[in-house]
A = this chain, B = another copy of it.
Amino acid sequence: MRPTRAVKDSPSSAPRPRGRPRSLEARRAVLRAAHALLKEGGVSALTIEGIAARAGVGKPTIYRSWPNAHAVAMAALMEGLEAPAAPQRPAASAMAALRAQLREVAQVFSTPLGRNVTLMIASAESETELSKAFRNHVILARRNEGRRLLETAIENGELRDNLDIEVALDLIYAPVFYRLLMGHAPLDAAFTDGVIRHVLEGLAARRAQARGARTVSSRKT
């Protein structure tokens, strides 16, 4: 198998490869074309031939940098789906910020493109370096922001201090992607707010029935 040397190796180890360097412009044209095709026709419209034709590039040029269309798509989307970085306006509380972020996540990933991205991550057949990077970039970026918020909330006393943050993060983000992928119910702000509310309050009955809940939970895990 040909190497398909990664576009970017470790930064310092590079002893300047011998031949003509790869054209950054071609690379960019390919990613642009891939992005456009993905937006227009979905995953099935994204073919190497189509990308090459649209980018004005030869097929081998694409294969030189990526092993298959999937990888091109991921690379293209990593540049087009930047995390929105800063919360535009400071929220009243960490949980309020989280609620706002969850709305934003739901909105971004509800677009056809966002849905395709999610699918692409999900259907990655093998764990390549690129697919991990892509997942980290797309999914974990938000998740990390969420983790930061959760930690702040715990410090603030908004949340109890003995929760499993990873589980909590899954509780918060999973429903969005679940509805997105399964499509069994709408994915709107009402839903994400409902998620936040329920996950904060918990489902267990309070006051009088706290004991029952405790009993249930205290069973051997």
Q: Which residues of A contact B (CB under 8 A)?
A: 42-44, 92-93, 95-96, 119, 121-123, 125, 127, 135, 139-140, 143, 156-164, 166-168, 170-171, 173-175, 177-179, 181-185, 190-191, 193-221
**Given A182-B139, A201-B204, A217–B121 Cβ distance below 8 Å?**
no
Which of A143, A173, A213 counts the most B-chain CB atoms under 10 A from its CB? A213
Contact between A170 and B175, CB atoms less than 8 A apart: yes
Q: Is the interface of A mostly helix, strand, loop or mixed?
A: helix
**Given A171-B175, A204-B201, A210-B209, A218–B139 Cβ distance below 8 Å?**
no
What B residues does A135 contact at CB under 8 A?
A: 182-184
Contact between A160 and B198, CB atoms less than 8 A apart: no
Taking CB as reference atom, which chain B residue is nearest A41? B125
What B residues does A183 contact at CB under 8 A?
A: 127, 135
Q: Could you pull out 16 A-B pairs where Cβ atoms are within 8 angstroms?
A: A96-B216, A119-B122, A122-B122, A127-B183, A158-B204, A159-B203, A160-B206, A164-B198, A164-B221, A167-B195, A167-B198, A174-B174, A174-B177, A201-B217, A212-B214, A213-B216
Taking CB as reference atom, which chain B residue is nearest A190? B221
